[in-house]
Amino acid sequence: MNTRRNFIKTSAFATAGALMASPYLTMAAAGKNKLKNFGFISGIAGEAMKADWKGTLKQAVEFGFTEYEGGSNYASTPKEFLNYCREIGIKPIAGGIEFKASEENLKKAFDNLNQLEMKYAVTYWPWHTGGPFMLEDCKKSVEMLNELGAKTKANGLQLLWHNHDKEFHEMEDGLPFDYLMKNTDPKLVQCQLDIYWVKKGGADPLVFLKKYAGRIPVLHVKDMAPGPEQDFICPGRGIIDFVPIFAEARKQKIEHYFVERDNEPDGIGCLKSSAEFLKNIRF
């Protein structure tokens, strides 16, 4: 009897452990709030978009995506792209601009984003060098970001700069991330915070989200794979705890969450699993 009783007791604990290990059950226990909208950046499914942009967008909508970040160069015109997005129920929100673009190319980029009725213009590498960044690099970037922010605002858009890990490596005067945030005009320059790259840089995304409340209207959502290489991976497959991050984002009324996973070999698969994760997460 003791053996049988111990077996039942052990089995019960094992079953409970398995249930607690389920990410969806864990997320469901975390809270009652969920994401109202989430999007993806086109590069995650770049090959699929090139082959069949309409079919890929339609699949993304079927998975649950409601927002889009990227360009319209897959279509013949921005109008064709926007009209199809409206038809299937996905909204273009943000697109990229080059940090060191000429005035002519910058104007073309702004015109394109406005034709797509986007809110944000994103510069993905706001630096003149490849890093590591020093104080002099930060001063140059701040000056240019403020100038670019003014031009972006004059064209009816909000400028965002996108971080990587090198902004969280110490320089002679603190962190480059802090310098850029503290020395750019909040009305002209805001941040698209990439959760993965903050963690890759050795920092805590939640800490910086709280520290710069009101300056971060858009989050890039990608996960970190377990292991020493800390590679990027599709959301929900890695080690980042998104629950407290999303809970804080909700407090700040952040509305835009874009799935990103660089060099993804299975873009459609990543979109599908990411959507399932984001639909089920509770915070």
Q: Span 14-27, mean pLDDT? A: 40
Dig out the tokens for 195 from the structure.
């959760």
Give the per-residue pLDDT at 27: 54
C-beta separation of 108 from 80 below 8 A? no
Q: Is the pLDDT of residue 49 over 50?
A: yes
Q: Span 48-62, mean pLDDT? A: 98
Give the per-residue pLDDT at 162: 98
Taking every pair of Cα atoms in the chain, the longest distance, rounded to a whole number of angstroms, is 84
Q: Give pTM, 2 decimals.
A: 0.90
Give the per-residue pLDDT at 104: 98
Q: What is the pLDDT of residues 79-92, one digit of tens each?
A: 999 999 999 999 99
Q: Which residues contact 23 (CB under 8 A, 6 or more apart)?
A: 236, 277
The whole-angstrom separation of Cα 208 and Cα 52 is: 38
Strand 223-224 with 232-233, pairing = antiparallel
Confidence of residue 232 (pLDDT cuts 50, 70, 90): very high
The whole-angstrom separation of Cα 127 and Cα 172 is: 17
Q: What's the mean pLDDT when you consider all of the chain?
A: 91
Give the per-residue pLDDT at 262: 86
Q: Is the pLDDT of residue 17 over 50?
A: no
> Residue 171 forms beta bridges with which residues?
174
Give the per-residue pLDDT at 7: 30
Domains of the chain, by residue range, sit at: 41-278
Q: What topology does CATH give the domain 41-278?
A: TIM Barrel (3.20.20)
The whole-angstrom separation of Cα 136 and Cα 169 is: 15
Taking CA atoms, 51 is separated from 46, 47, 234, in Å, by 9, 6, 22
> Residue 40 forms beta bridges with which residues?
68, 259
Q: Which of 20-34, 51-65, 92-106 has the lowest mean pLDDT?
A: 20-34
> Residue 69 forms beta bridges with which residues?
41, 94
Q: What is the pLDDT of residues 111-137, one digit of tens each?
A: 999 999 999 999 999 999 999 999 999
Q: Which of 49, 41, 87, 48 is nearest to 65 (CA)?
A: 41
Taking CA atoms, 226 is separated from 77, 197, 222, 229, 243, in Å, by 42, 15, 13, 8, 18
pLDDT > 90 fraction of the chain, expressed in percent and rounded: 88
40 by Cβ neighbours in 10 Å (0-12 / 13-18 / 19+) ranks as buried
Taking CA atoms, 164 is separated from 57, 116, 196, 199, 203, in Å, by 27, 27, 8, 10, 11
Strand 39-41 with 189-194, pairing = unpaired
Give the per-residue pLDDT at 6: 39
C-beta separation of 70 from 56 below 8 A? no
